[in-house]
Each structure stands twice: as C-alpha cells, then as structure tokens.
C-alpha cells in the first residue's frame, strides 16, 4: 500500500539516495488516504514538482486518532514505565543521528534550505530527543503532608492523544520539539505536518517504526490545514493540540478548542522581533549577526531579527555595512558550496513578501538593497533592506517572513524601548551593547519570551522557547515543555479514623 519517492543526489555537498514513503502512517502501517487524494510537493529552487504525498482529511484523522487512543490505553500512557519510554527515545535519537544527512537532504530539497543548515537542525533534533529521553523517568510528582493522619501525593499523568501541527519553515526540528516531550510523558500522537513540506515527517515515521515504538503511538497524516488540520483540532478524543504556525491560525485553534472539548492548547506563533543596536555596540559584530538573523533561511524564521533600531550616532555607518553584507550574499541551490541563501518556500510566500516590499516603497521607506526577484527559476528574492521606516508602516507592524530587514533610527533608550514594545507580538528581542548594566536593564523591559544579547536567535534543548503577547502560549523545549504534555493529579490518603 502507498508509494515511495526516491531521489538521487549527486551534489558537491551530498551524494546519496533518499527514499521516502509518501502515504499516511497510521497504527504502524503505511496506507493511502481514504479519499485517494494527493498533494503535490514542489522544489522551491526550480518551482517544479518533486513528487506527491497522500492527502489525509477528516476520515483519516479519525482513523488515526482511534489508533492513538487504543495505543494509549493498551501499550503506552500509564502502561509503559518511564524508563521504557526513555529507552525507545534514545534508540530513536540514535537512528536520527545515523540518518542526519539523508534527513537533512530531504529537508533541504523540500523546504529550499541550505544543506549545511539542515544538517545542523537535524543534529539539534537528536539533542532534543536525547534530552527528553532522559526526562522520561524523572518527571514525577511530590508528596505533601496535610495533617498527622493524612497526606497527598501528585502524579504527572499524560493527557492522552495529542494533536501536533507544524509549519513549513523548520518542519523536522519543530516536529521533534513536540514529539519528544509528548512521548517522554506518555502521550500518543497524531502529527499533521505542513502540506508545503511533508517529506521529513514521513522519514521520521519510518524511524519511529524502526525504533520499535508500539503501533499507534505515533501517527502522521499529511494533509491541508483546512481539512486534516481542522479535523484534528475539532476531534473530541484529542486532549491537547500543540501548534506552531501563524497567529491567524493560532486564533482559530483556540476558538475551535473552546467550542469542542476544551482541549488544552499550546501555541507557538508569529513574531516581529525588535533589535536594538546601541551606539556602544561592536558594529562589525552587530552587522554580522543582523545579516545572519535577517536573511538566514530567507527570513522565514519566526524569531527573525529584522525590525532593527539603530542609535542615531551609528545609524549611517551601520546601514552602509549592512547593505554591503546583504549585497554580498550569494543565492542558489542549498546543495552548492557557494550558496549562502536559498529561495522562499513557495510561489505564495514569494508573492506575499513581494507585496510587503511594494507596501514599504509606497509608504515611503528608503529601499537600500534588493526588493526584486533574483534571475533564474525558483522562488528567490534578493536580500532586501529598507531604512528610515516609521512605526505606522505595514513593514514595521506585520510579520513579513521573508528576507527583508527594516531599519529605523532612535535617540534614547526610553524611546527605543517604547518602539520595540509597540507590537502585538512578543516572541524574541535582541540587544547589541557592550554595557552590561544596559544589556540587563533592556532585557528585563523587552516584552518578549526570549532575549538575546549580542547575538541572534539560538535554541538549546534545556532552554525554554515561546512567546509573550500574541506570539503564543506555553513553552517548548526545556523542563517547561513537560508541563505542556502532562496533567497533575492529586491523590489524598487518609491513614486515620477521625472524620
Ligand atoms: P500556518 O499557520 O499557515 O500553518 C501552520 C500549520 O497549520 C500547517 O500545518 C497548516 O496546514 C496548519 N493549518 C492551517 N489552517 C489550519 C486550520 N484551520 N486548522 C488546523 N491547522 C491548520 O503557518 P505557516 O505559513 O506554515 O508558517 C509560518 C508561520 O509560523 C509564521 O507566522 C511563523 O512566525 C510561525 N512560526 C512560529 C514559530 C514559533 O516557534 N513561534 C516557529 C516557526 C514558525
């Protein structure tokens, strides 16, 4: 049942063959979708079709949720002790590590990433899965004495079937950020990856099977958001949804959860992240980090550091160097050694970002670099810089999710903090200064879930990640994510005879 996609790479950076099963993965088996519909998978570098995968919808989601419910009751959840769950996660981490290059190649091909970046991301997933493997037998409750004759204890119990929904910008790593804590704490999973980048989650499913997880513990349904995604968030037997994607869809998820079974919800949403470059910053360092933080993965990064405020004393010098750096970025296929930056993920995303470029021009921001498509095929947009942006401009207020840096000038710390926090979002913030007191003061005042001093975004398994304000609810990674996948039960014990 179902088909496979085989692709042979003969590039400077990777030589080898990948084979991906393109069906749905339900109850440990590869199957076609009930409707037999498929989704085309497009190579963003060429704009041409690579393959197609099965398109699941409400029927398939229902079958998968039922399989996950059975597995939760019979072979996972409270039936499998933590150390056994941990052992399987360690095996999974080893298998991912053994296949880093194949997974990275699949991810780079599907999402238009640089192969070297994809390798780093997949290795990061190995670290995350190992981190939660270690937690699997350590996430226990507490004992409380309530009187001489009574005590209570708490249990950190799994929720049951959890629905995981992931976007297209970091399909593999974001999936593992959710899967690892969900499995470590004893939940079973129905994962719906993005219809734009479905391939790497299907490779992951094959590795889960090879690792020996019981059937039904992990199910993957490629499908569209409006069909498969919607069915997952509406399903009465799903106890929790962990979602990463746009604020627009995040809002729908909360609304649906409230109208169905009040399922728990974790949301990792969009960002419009401020960067503050003070006049005492090491300017070369600031430009180096900004060039990476703005243009890495063509700016399709929720924590992109692309709303940039520069002190008036160093504004012109910063812009001059930033423009030189942006213009020297070499675009191309991520499997070429000389390519620094790949394309946007799709025609839709390219059109969306070009719309923002147009609006920046119309609203009077000064275009200093890029702003146009690159020559050749694929969804490439040149690294783009706008200067002299005003707070009311669309390019300052809305998440662009493309290779576009938007730079404004400021005079005082007080003024720039007002500007930085003047947003519905609160995912990340960045400070460039050599004054430690200022760095700490500004970090405390920025309304953001993560603040980075003298660098751009980075993640580590033991550090929480997640937004303030409309950038989300709940945390991923670290010990905090365990809370997102467990519910605390209090058990009261009476040893005495008195009422
Ligand atoms: P999106 O919201 O369009 O889609 C995300 C996922 O939701 C996809 O799998 C999609 O199929 C699904 N979906 C769409 N409609 C749905 C519905 N009605 N019900 C259920 N599922 C539905 O986002 P995207 O375009 O894939 O990704 C880009 C967005 O993701 C950006 O806003 C970015 O900031 C955000 N993001 C946030 C983080 C974070 O950690 N905060 C990380 C990466 C991306």
pLDDT tens, 157-191?
999 999 999 999 999 999 999 999 999 999 999 99
Which residue owns the Cα nearest ligand 1 atom 21?
A: 229
- Residue 35 and residue 183 in one domain: yes
Instruction: Identify the pLDDT of residue 2.
Output: 76
The 10s digit of each residue's pLDDT in 435-471 is 999 999 999 999 999 999 999 989 999 999 999 999 9
- Residue 353 and residue 214 in one domain: no
How many domains, the chain?
A: 2
Cα 243 to middle of ligand 1, angstroms = 7
Which residue owns the Cα nearest ligand 1 atom 23?
A: 245
Cα 199 to middle of ligand 1, angstroms = 17
pLDDT tops 90 at residue 194:
yes
Cα 45 to middle of ligand 1, angstroms = 22
- pLDDT tier, 92 (very low <50, low <70, confident <90, very high otherwise): very high
- Residue 262 and residue 286 in one domain: no
Probe residue for ligand 1, chosen from 193, 230, 245 as the CB with the greatest number of ligand atoms within 8 Å: 245
- Residue 224 and residue 318 in one domain: no
184 lines ligand 1 (CB under 6 A): no
Give the lowest-confidence range in 1-15, 80-94, 147-161.
Answer: 1-15
Sequence-ordered alpha helix ranges (H) in 3-149: 58-74, 82-98, 100-111, 115-135
The 10s digit of each residue's pLDDT in 243-287 is 999 999 999 999 999 999 999 999 999 999 999 999 999 999 999
Rounded distance between C-alpha atoms, residue 103 and residue 333, angstroms: 17
CATH no. for residue 374?
Answer: 3.40.309.10
Whether 493 maps to a domain, the answer reads no
- Residue 367 and residue 316 in one domain: yes
Token pair recorded at residue 169: 């910008």
Rounded distance between C-alpha atoms, residue 411 and residue 398, angstroms: 24
- Residue 45 and residue 136 in one domain: yes
Report the predicted TM-score, pTM, of the whole model to 2 decimal places: 0.97
Which residue owns the Cα nearest ligand 1 atom 8?
A: 194
Whether 382 maps to a domain, the answer reads yes
479 burial type by CB count under 10 A (0-12 exposed, 13-18 middle, 19+ buried): middle
Q: Which residues are catalytic?
A: 268
Nearest ligand 1 atom, CA 427? 41
Q: Are 201 and 219 in contact (CB under 8 A)?
A: no
pLDDT tops 60 at residue 1:
no
- pLDDT tier, 434 (very low <50, low <70, confident <90, very high otherwise): very high
Instruction: Identify the pLDDT of residue 481.
Output: 98
- Residue 354 and residue 265 in one domain: no
- pLDDT tier, 197 (very low <50, low <70, confident <90, very high otherwise): very high
167 lines ligand 1 (CB under 6 A): yes
Question: Could you tell me the CA-to-CA distances from 432 to 429, 439, 440, 471, 484 in Å, in that order?
Answer: 10, 8, 11, 23, 33
Name the residue range of residue 53's domain. Answer: 4-269+472-488
The 10s digit of each residue's pLDDT in 366-417 is 999 999 998 778 999 999 999 999 999 999 999 999 999 999 999 999 999 9
* Phi, psi angles (nearest 5°) of residue 423: -155, 155
Q: Using CA atoms of 167, 173, 175, 180 in order, give the dihedral in degrees to the nearest 10.
A: -160
The 10s digit of each residue's pLDDT in 319-358 is 999 999 999 999 999 999 999 999 999 999 999 999 999 9
The 10s digit of each residue's pLDDT in 200-211 is 999 999 999 999
Tokens 């021009």 belong to residue = 361
Cα 376 to middle of ligand 1, angstroms = 29
- Residue 229 and residue 371 in one domain: no
């Amino acid at each position: 049942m179902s088909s496979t996609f085989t692709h042979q790479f003969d590039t400077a950076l990777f030589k080898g063959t990948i084979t991906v099963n393109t069906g749905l993965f339900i109850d440990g088996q590869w199957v076609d979708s009930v409707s037999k519909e498929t989704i085309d998978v497009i190579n963003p570098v060429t704009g041409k079709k690579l393959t197609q995968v099965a398109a699941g919808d409400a029927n398939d989601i229902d079958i998968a949720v039922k399989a996950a419910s059975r597995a939760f009751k019979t072979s996972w959840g409270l039936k499998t002790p933590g150390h056994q769950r941990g052992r399987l996660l360690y095996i999974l981490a080893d298998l991912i590590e053994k296949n880093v290059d194949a997974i990275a190649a699949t991810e780079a091909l599907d999402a238009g990433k640089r192969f070297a970046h994809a390798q780093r991301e997949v290795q990061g997933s190995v670290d995350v899965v190992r981190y939660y493997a270690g937690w699997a037998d350590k996430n226990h409750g507490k004992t409380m004495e309530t009187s001489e004759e009574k005590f209570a204890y708490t249990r950190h119990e799994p929720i049951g079937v959890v629905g995981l929904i992931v976007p297209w910008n970091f399909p593999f790593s974001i999936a593992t950020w959710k899967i690892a804590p969900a499995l470590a704490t004893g939940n079973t999973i129905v994962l719906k990856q993005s219809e734009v980048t479905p391939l790497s989650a299907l490779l992951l499913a094959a590795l889960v099977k090879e690792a020996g997880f019981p059937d039904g513990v992990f199910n993957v349904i490629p499908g569209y958001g409006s069909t498969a995604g919607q069915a997952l968030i509406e399903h009465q037997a799903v106890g929790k949804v962990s979602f990463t994607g746009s604020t627009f869809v995040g809002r729908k998820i909360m609304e649906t959860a409230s109208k169905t079974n009040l399922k728990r919800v974790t949301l990792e949403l969009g960002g419009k992240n401020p960067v503050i470059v003070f006049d005492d910053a090491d300017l070369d360092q600031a430009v180096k980090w900004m060039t990476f933080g703005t243009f890495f993965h063509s700016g399709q990064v929720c924590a992109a550091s692309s709303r940039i405020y520069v002190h008036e004393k160093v504004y012109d010098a910063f812009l001059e160097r930033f423009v030189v750096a942006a213009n020297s970025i070499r675009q191309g296929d991520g499997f070429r050694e000389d390519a620094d930056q790949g394309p946007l993920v799709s025609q839709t995303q390219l059109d969306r970002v070009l719309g923002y470029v147009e609006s920046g021009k119309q609203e009077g921001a000064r275009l200093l670099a890029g702003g146009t498509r690159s020559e050749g095929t694929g969804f490439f947009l040149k690294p783009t810089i706008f200067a002299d942006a005003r707070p009311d401009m669309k390019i300052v207020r809305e998440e662009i999710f493309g290779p576009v840096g938007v730079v404004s000038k400021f005079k005082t710390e007080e003024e720039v903090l007002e500007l930085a926090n003047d947003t519905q979002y609160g995912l990340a913030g960045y400070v460039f200064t050599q004054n430690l007191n200022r760095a700490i003061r500004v970090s405390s005042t920025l309304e953001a879930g993560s603040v980075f001093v003298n660098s751009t975004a980075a993640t580590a398994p033991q550090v929480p990640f997640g937004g303030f304000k409309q950038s989300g609810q709940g945390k991923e990674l670290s010990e905090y994510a365990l809370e997102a996948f467990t519910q605390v039960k209090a058990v009261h014990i009476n040893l005495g005879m008195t009422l």
